[in-house]
Amino acid sequence: MATTKSFLILFFMILATTSSTCAT
């Protein structure tokens, strides 16, 4: 479960970064 949780955190981090880039 720890691996999945870490993956989700990483995924959301990338998603947030992408959203910020697109917003800019």
pTM: 0.54
- Condensed to tens digits (0 to 9), the pLDDT of residues 2-23 reads 789 999 999 999 999 988 777 6
Q: Return the pLDDT at 2.
A: 79
What is the model's pLDDT at position 23?
65
* Angle at alpha carbon of residue 16, lines to 7 and 11, rounded to 5°: 10
Query: In the Cβ-directed half-sphere of 20, how many Cα atoms lie within 13 Å?
Result: 6
- pLDDT at position 11 is 94
The pLDDT of residue 1: 67
